[in-house]
A and B are shown apart, each in its own frame.
Chain A
C-alpha cells in the first residue's frame, strides 16, 4: 500500500531528483542572484556561504522504501520546517541558519557498546552506500510532506559500534552552539535537543540516518550534516545535527516530552486515533496541495503500519503515545 512494490506506471524507480531537477535549477538561479546581490550590497553573505555548502551526493535509489506519491518541492522542504535551534517560525530555519558550520563534524558514540569514541563523520559514512528513499513526513502539528531523503539505514551504522546486550535504547543529541544557532539563546526548550528510540525501533530497516535530500547534502535548516528520519513517528523525533549517539539501558529523555509530557510522549508514533490534547490528529494538511487542497486522512503509523505495527504489539498506544 504505502511502501509499494514497484508497479507498472509507478514512478518509484525514478530518482526524484530527476523528476524535480527543474526546481533545483530554479533554486540555483536564486542562489546566483543572491550571490550577486551579496556582492553588490555586502549583505546576505552568510546565507550564500551556507547555500554554497550544499553539494551533490552519490546516491542509490531504493524503490523498496520509496512512496509513489510525488515529493514536495525542494523549496517547500527547505523553507518550511521546524528547527527551534534557529527560531520558532517555520521560515526561521532557512532564514537564520546561514552562520551554522556543518563541517568539519564529529559524532561521539558512548554507552553500552564495544566500540565507543569520537569519530569523524566521513569515517562513519565511508563504508556505506547512500540510499535515496522517499518517505512521508508527518508533523505533530498536523501537516505533512513527502521528502526524498538520502541516507544510510540507522541499523547498519549502529551495528558497527557493537551494542551490548544492555543496550535497550539509543539516545541522540543535537549540537549545542548558541553562537551559530540563535534559537538556543532563548529558553523555549531545554538545550541541547535530545531524542531517543527503543533499540528495536532504531534497528528497524525504515529508520534512516539522513545526510541529504534531493541528491544533495542536507542544507543547514534541515539538520546538516546528519539527522534522524523515522517515518512512522511524528517529525520531532527526527533529531537534527546529531553530535552524540549513546546506547543506554534505561529509556532516555526526549526534549518535547520534557517540555510538555502530557502532549508529547517518548514514542510519538503517528496515530490518527490518539489526538494531541489540543488538536485532532485524524487528518493532515499536505504541504503543496495549495489554497484549496483539503486535509487528507492521517494513516496509522503514517502508512507504515504493515512494517512497524509488530513493534508495538500488546502495547496500549493511548498510554504510550
Chain B
C-alpha cells in the first residue's frame, strides 16, 4: 500500500491532471491547437465529449469500492472524492454546453425540453441529484452528516442508472455502447447488493417438508 505521503504528493496530483485531459483536449480543439479538431459540428462534439466523460467518471467512481474489495486496494478510497467531483464537473460542463452553446439560452426551448423530452428530463434529474453529493463532499460535511452522509451518497446508484438511460435514449440505432455501460453499472451495483445480502438467509438450512 502506498504511504499517505505518496498518495497525497504523487498519486492525487497525477490523477488530478489526468482527469483534466478531456477538458484540455476540448480547449485545444476549440483553439485548433495541436492538430485537434472539433469537426463540422463543434457544439455537438463538445457536448458529446463532456457527456461521455461525465458518464465515464460516474462509472469509474462507482467502481472504486468493488475494485478495492476485489483486489484488496484499500487506499483507492482516497481517490474517490476527486473522481466523483470530476464526474460532477463534466456533467455540469455537458449541461452548460447544451444550455449556452446548443440552446443559446433559448429558455422556451430549454424548459420544454426538460419538461417534455424524457431523455433530457432524466439527464437533468441526474445532474440535479449530483449537486448535493458535490456540496457534501467536504470533510466537514462528512462529519456533520455522520451516518446520513453514506445514505445520501447512495444517490449515485440512481444517478448512474439515469445517466446510462439518458445515453441509451438519445442513440438513434446502435445501442451497443449504452448496453456496455449498462452491463458495467449492473455489475458494480450487483456486487454491492450481493455484499449486502442477508447472511442468515443464505446460511439457513433447507426446510424439510
Contact = CB atoms under 8 A, between A and B. Distances in A.
Interface residues of B, number: 25
A291 B101 contact: yes
A188 interface: yes
18 contacts: A76-B40, A79-B39, A79-B40, A80-B39, A80-B40, A80-B41, A84-B173, A141-B172, A279-B117, A280-B117, A285-B43, A288-B40, A290-B42, A291-B42, A291-B46, A292-B101, A294-B106, A295-B106
B208 interface: no
Query: Mostly helix, strand, loop or mixed at chain B's interface?
Result: helix
Contacts of A278: 117-119, 169-170
Given A278-B170, A279-B117, A280-B117, A287 B103 contact: no
A186 B42 CA distance: 28
Query: Mostly helix, strand, loop or mixed at chain A's interface?
Result: loop
A203 interface: no
Interface string B47-88: 000000000000000000000000000000000000000000
A290 to B, nearest CB: 7
The 5 closest A-B pairs by CB, nearest first: A294-B104, A80-B40, A76-B40, A188-B173, A188-B174
Interface residues of A, number: 29
A287 B40 CA distance: 6
Interface in A216-252: none
B174 A88 contact: yes
Given A88-B173, A143-B44, A291-B30, 12 more contacts: A79-B39, A79-B40, A80-B40, A80-B41, A186-B174, A188-B173, A259-B173, A280-B112, A290-B42, A291-B43, A291-B46, A295-B106
Contacts of B117: 278-280
